Amino acid sequence: MFTDVGPKKTSSQQLIKEANMRRIFALICINEGISRAGIAASTGLSPTTVSTLADGLISSGLVIETGAGELATSGRKPIMLEVNPGGGAIIAADLQKNGYYLGIFNLKCQSLDEVFIPLKDYEALGSSIVENTAILLEKCGYGVDRLLGICVGAPGIIDRKKGRVVSSTIIPLETSNLFYEKLKKAFPDVTVEIMNESGLCAYAESQYGAIGRHTDNLLYIDIHAGIGAGIIINGSIYEGSGELAGEFGHISIDLNGPVCKCGSRGCLEILASIPALVANIESETDFLKEHPETRTEDEKLRIIAMEYIGKKRYSGQIDKTAEYIAYGINNAINLINPGAVVIGGKITAMGSGFLKKVVEVQRRIGLDRNRRTKIIMSEFEGNPVTAGGARYIFNKIF
Amino acid sequence: MFTDVGPKKTSSQQLIKEANMRRIFALICINEGISRAGIAASTGLSPTTVSTLADGLISSGLVIETGAGELATSGRKPIMLEVNPGGGAIIAADLQKNGYYLGIFNLKCQSLDEVFIPLKDYEALGSSIVENTAILLEKCGYGVDRLLGICVGAPGIIDRKKGRVVSSTIIPLETSNLFYEKLKKAFPDVTVEIMNESGLCAYAESQYGAIGRHTDNLLYIDIHAGIGAGIIINGSIYEGSGELAGEFGHISIDLNGPVCKCGSRGCLEILASIPALVANIESETDFLKEHPETRTEDEKLRIIAMEYIGKKRYSGQIDKTAEYIAYGINNAINLINPGAVVIGGKITAMGSGFLKKVVEVQRRIGLDRNRRTKIIMSEFEGNPVTAGGARYIFNKIF
DNA sequence: TTAATTTCTCCAGTGGCTTTATTAATTGTA
DNA sequence: TACAATTAATAAAGCCACTGGAGAAATTAA
């Protein structure tokens, strides 16, 4: 996007120009409405340079002039520059058990639309995304040439270099599934990334979250059937040396605890996942007697949450889960000392009572100095996977 | 060091020049003996530019020509460029209980000398370092103007911005101790950094270690009276949002375990530190009967290690310690998935038998895919704190 | 209408990099 | 020994992104 500006130049000069262009564009992104003069003052670049580069951004369609801005004192009114929302579109997918969400975002990373596409056969994932990307683009008035990137968020272990889901307990995606290649082939000039969903949630929190925005290092804990984590280090998604970081569910907090399928004992996943919580409640309370009908886990969770929030029922089991999670979080804080820990996933159905218990336990067992880390529940509006994915693509390009 | 090259220039061009100079210098550092032509081929810069910048490096004393190099085919022999070891000196301190080590390193980060300075009164730390820095510089033939930086490695919690040791159980350094200010005042043009010792050990392993060199993410576990950790993420020392990362000792692996002074239960520090190991052996074996004389912990550890390595005694307690550490390491691997975990500190006295047990347990309890992380014992020759500190300063400057 | 002020643009100049050409040094061969 | 071939390093000329100052454009206040 930034490389087709002007004729061939010597590499280093081109580099400078591109870097300055990025700086200017970033400023325009952050400040909704800023003048050329404002950019010059803020960057230290000369007004001349800013004018030249801004004109380049305008002619490439990324930026538009939005008329005269207000000025406190006298003088010529500034011409305000803003990101051109229609200048480009980003597509983000969120793979689920029986299909996927597909969202379209404008250049301001605002969600324009999001649909759920049911999938019977995951073999067809690639071609399905290709089709529905075209549909969404058309629906929102974008030509295919305006597509900037596609991000696919998936549960499980990702091999980003090969663009594959290596293993996942949730979606039936074989290692051999070539949906990444299909996307690259259909949209050759476009950035395509496969990312772990927890990482994208973490990224969404770190970019948009009221708390997350203010820290460089953040841990997002995703509690559902499994327990995963997304880690933000120095503002970027951290994936570890083998793209395996964030296996929060297999942190052990009880080496004498129950045996986990991973070979260890007392893992959080076996103690504090949603299935573990439901199983505890079923075996220790009258839940099954009161609700004898066969139900899905989601339905059970809904009932449990309702009765917990309304009548404080099952608080023994839920508090216990909170304690386990607090031990896990405290271990993570001791190791990586993030500025914030965000709890997300289905467990958020339990509401603030659950969070309160987690915080209470962590404050009790944590070192004094580690109590500064904020522990909150995700309050993200919309789908954090697609929002994080779109933002990730955006920041990768610009 | 790089800023006084030539007259005033426009900012962006100056930036490019400096960046290219750094690139060239880095290449000369890595390749012992490289020609201007070789640099041009390797960087993609033009021969002319390389010549100009190399001349700048030579005239600033950082680089020297070391005569003609060998050439396979015919043609003019290249003039080899190398780092000028005498071009600068770096001083690194390693604070201990009763004094500190002070090492001097040349521009190739090679250790020239290292001395132990006993200290009765820690109030005098700053002036003592100033004095002994001058002595070491003179001893090695450096003028004071050749000093590039000083790194002080300290146990405990560091506030790097203020240059203070915030809390340490090992050395009696009050928060009010102004040794950082003293150093800055005595050597105003010089980079001065206070760093956590575990972080510096980790850095030394990641820069020089046979295994550590090959991974971007590394965990160094320092087991002595406490258990700390140094974390390398993307090749840099990671300190967390509050400079508190690496509190490995307070990771809990048994929420029903013994109460720790931190308020939690089953922390590694209370289960697997050197004092814990010695206490276990004293209470569960005949150690005290056989060695009734009062001894220091270090002496006890020496005896235990000797008998463990020679006669496999105390292997019950030592294996248990290894198991605890393995659980801690496995938790860390699950969370941050480093390429390597290096075990250091006094526990290394136990030799390869201890390491073997740690690896065995981690391999048993770890996820298949997490068994790829290498777990090794530190085999660093010399003092990793000063070596890591010197290297840290070097990489910060260049 | 004029002065003052602020925004934006045009023009000449600076400096770091590149390309092309030249000089320097070495090997191989007649 | 002379000379071509080859590689390394330097010199000269030109390119281009940025800067600073002059000036045009637009707006407010007097």
Q: Which of A255, A338, A364 sits opposite B253 (nearest CB)?
A: A255
The DSSP secondary-structure symbol of B120 reads S
Sign of dihedral through CA atoms B66, B67, B71, B76?
A: positive
Contact present, B34 and B24 (Cβ < 8 Å): no
| Whole-number Cα distances in Å, B311 to A138, B299, B302 | 77, 18, 14
Residues of chain A contacting B367 with CB distance shorter than 8 Å: 247, 250, 262-263
The DSSP secondary-structure symbol of A379 reads -
B367/A250 touch (CB, cutoff 8 Å), yes or no? yes
Q: Is residue B4 part of a domain?
A: no
Contact present, B275 and B225 (Cβ < 8 Å): yes
A338/B241 touch (CB, cutoff 8 Å), yes or no? yes
Chains A–B, number of C-beta pairs less than 8 Å apart: 171
Query: Exposed, middle or buried: residue A211 (CB in 10 Å: 0-12, 13-18, 19+)?
Result: middle
pLDDT level of residue B72 (50, 70, 90 thresholds): low
Q: How far is A248 from chain B (nearest CA, A)?
A: 6
Residues of chain A contacting B18 with CB distance shorter than 8 Å: none
DSSP letters along B305-343, please? Answer: HHHHHHH-TTHHHHHHHHHHHHHHHHHHHHHH--SEEEE
How many Å does it take to go from CA A145 to C1' D11? 48
Q: Which nucleotide is nearest to B49 (CA to C1')?
A: C17
B229/A335 touch (CB, cutoff 8 Å), yes or no? yes
Shared domain check, A340 and A218: yes
Question: In this predicted structure, what is the pLDDT of residue B12?
Answer: 77
Question: In this predicted structure, what is the pLDDT of residue B15?
Answer: 86
Q: Which of A233, A234, A241 sits opposite B338 (nearest CB)?
A: A241
Tell me how many domains chain A contains.
Answer: 3
The DSSP secondary-structure symbol of A348 reads G
Helix B125-139 vs helix B179-186: crossing angle, to nearest 10: 40
Query: Exposed, middle or buried: residue B67 (CB in 10 Å: 0-12, 13-18, 19+)?
Result: exposed
H helix or E strand, kind and range, residue A154: strand A147-154
Q: Is residue B227 part of a domain?
A: yes
Q: Of A53, A83, A113, which one is at a domain's C-terminal end?
A: A83
3-state secondary structure B5-26: CCCCCCHHHHHHHHHHHHHHHH
Tokens of A20: 């300055």
B332/A337 touch (CB, cutoff 8 Å), yes or no? no
Shared domain check, B279 and B232: yes
Model pLDDT for residues B316-331, shown as the tens digit of each residue? 999 999 999 999 999 9
Partner residues linked to B302 by β-bridges: none
Question: Is pLDDT of A373 > 50?
Answer: yes
Provide mean pLDDT across the span A80-91. 96
| Whole-number Cα distances in Å, A188 to A66, A84, A131, B161, B345 | 33, 23, 15, 47, 52
More confident residue, B353 or A295: B353
Contact present, A27 and A57 (Cβ < 8 Å): no
Sign of dihedral through CA atoms A100, A101, A104, A105?
A: negative
Distance (Å, whole) CA B218 – CA B99: 29
Q: Is residue B218 part of a domain?
A: yes
Question: Any idea which of A71-85, B68-82, B106-120 has the lowest mean pLDDT?
Answer: B68-82
Which of these, A139, A128, A131, lies nearest to A104 by C-alpha position? A139
pTM: 0.93
Strands lying side by side in the sheet with B340-345: B236-238, B227-233, B218-223, B340-345, B374-377
Range of the domain at B179: 88-202+384-397
Question: Any idea which of A160-169, B138-147, B285-294 has the lowest mean pLDDT?
Answer: A160-169
Local structure of B93: helix, strand or coil: strand
Mean pLDDT, rounded, of chain B:
93
Distance (Å, whole) CA A387 – CA A203: 9
In this structure, what CATH number is given to the domain that contains residue A48?
1.10.10.10
Shared domain check, B123 and B59: no
Local structure of A194: helix, strand or coil: strand
Could you tell me where the beta strands, DSSP code E, fall in B9-110? 34-35, 63-68, 79-83, 89-96, 99-106
Shared domain check, B224 and B368: yes
The DSSP secondary-structure symbol of B169 reads S
Phi/psi for B67 (5° steps) reads 85, -175
Q: Of B33, B62, B83, which one is at a domain's C-terminal end?
A: B83
Q: Is residue A4 part of a domain?
A: no
Question: In this predicted structure, what is the pLDDT of residue B294?
Answer: 74
Local structure of A349: helix, strand or coil: helix
Helix, strand, coil percent content, chain A, rounded in steps of 5: 45, 20, 30
Q: Is the CB of B74 under 7 A from strand D?
A: yes
Q: List bases in chain C with any atom under 7 Å of a protein Cβ.
A: 4-21, 24-28
Question: Any idea which of B74-88, B225-239, B348-362 has the lowest mean pLDDT?
Answer: B74-88
Question: In this predicted structure, what is the pLDDT of residue B113?
Answer: 98
pLDDT level of residue A14 (50, 70, 90 thresholds): confident
Q: Is the CB of A71 under 7 A from strand C?
A: yes
Question: Is pLDDT of B8 > 50?
Answer: no
Residues of chain B contacting A246 with CB distance shorter than 8 Å: 335, 337
Strands lying side by side in the sheet with A99-106: A111-118, A99-106, A89-95, A147-154, A191-196
Model pLDDT for residues A294-322, shown as the tens digit of each residue? 789 999 999 999 999 999 999 999 999 99
Contact present, B221 and B229 (Cβ < 8 Å): yes
Question: In this predicted structure, what is the pLDDT of residue A70?
Answer: 76
Tokens of B246: 């690496």
Q: Percent of chain A, pLDDT > 90?
A: 84
Partner residues linked to A238 by β-bridges: A231
Helix B47-59 vs helix B36-43: crossing angle, to nearest 10: 120
Question: In this predicted structure, what is the pLDDT of residue A166?
Answer: 86
Q: Which of B252, B255, B372 sits opposite A242 (nearest CB)?
A: B372
Provide mean pLDDT across the span A149-177. 88
Which of these, B320, B359, B321, lies nearest to B340 by C-alpha position? B359
Shared domain check, B69 and B102: no
Shared domain check, A215 and A102: no
Q: Which nucleotide is nearest to A65 (CA to C1')?
A: C8
Residues of B (33-92) placing their beta carbon closer than 7 angstroms to any atom of strand C are 44-49, 52-53, 68, 71, 74-77
DSSP letters along B184-221, please? Answer: HHHSTTSEEEEEEHHHHHHHHHHHH-TTGGG-S-EEEE
Shared domain check, B226 and B119: no
Shared domain check, B240 and B186: no
Local structure of A163: helix, strand or coil: coil
Contact present, A56 and A2 (Cβ < 8 Å): no
Shared domain check, B358 and B241: yes
B236-238 and B227-233 strand pairing: antiparallel
Contact present, A274 and A224 (Cβ < 8 Å): yes
Shared domain check, B340 and B235: yes
Shared domain check, B218 and B328: yes
Question: In this predicted structure, what is the pLDDT of residue A208?
Answer: 97
Q: List bases in chain D with any atom under 7 Å of a protein Cβ.
A: 5-22, 25-29
Model pLDDT for residues A108-135, shown as the tens digit of each residue? 999 999 999 999 988 999 999 999 999 9
Q: Of B83, B101, B131, which one is at a domain's C-terminal end?
A: B83
Q: Is the CB of A7 under 7 A from strand D?
A: yes
Q: Is residue B287 part of a domain?
A: yes
Q: Is residue A361 part of a domain?
A: yes
Distance (Å, whole) CA A64 – CA A86: 10
Model pLDDT for residues A254-274, shown as the tens digit of each residue? 999 999 999 999 999 999 999
Residue B392 exposure: Cα atoms within 13 Å on the Cβ side:
32
Q: How far is A244 from chain B (nearest CA, A)?
A: 6
Distance (Å, whole) CA B301 – CA B286: 15
Q: Report how far apart the first and last C-alpha atoms of chain A are (Å, whole number).
A: 9
| Whole-number Cα distances in Å, B358 to A276, B210, B250 | 29, 20, 18
A245/B335 touch (CB, cutoff 8 Å), yes or no? yes
Q: Is residue A5 part of a domain?
A: no
Q: Which nucleotide is nearest to B13 (CA to C1')?
A: C16
In this structure, what CATH number is given to the domain that contains residue A110?
3.30.420.40
Local structure of A165: helix, strand or coil: strand
A337/B240 touch (CB, cutoff 8 Å), yes or no? yes
Q: Is residue B29 part of a domain?
A: yes
Partner residues linked to A93 by β-bridges: A102, A152
Shared domain check, A329 and A300: yes
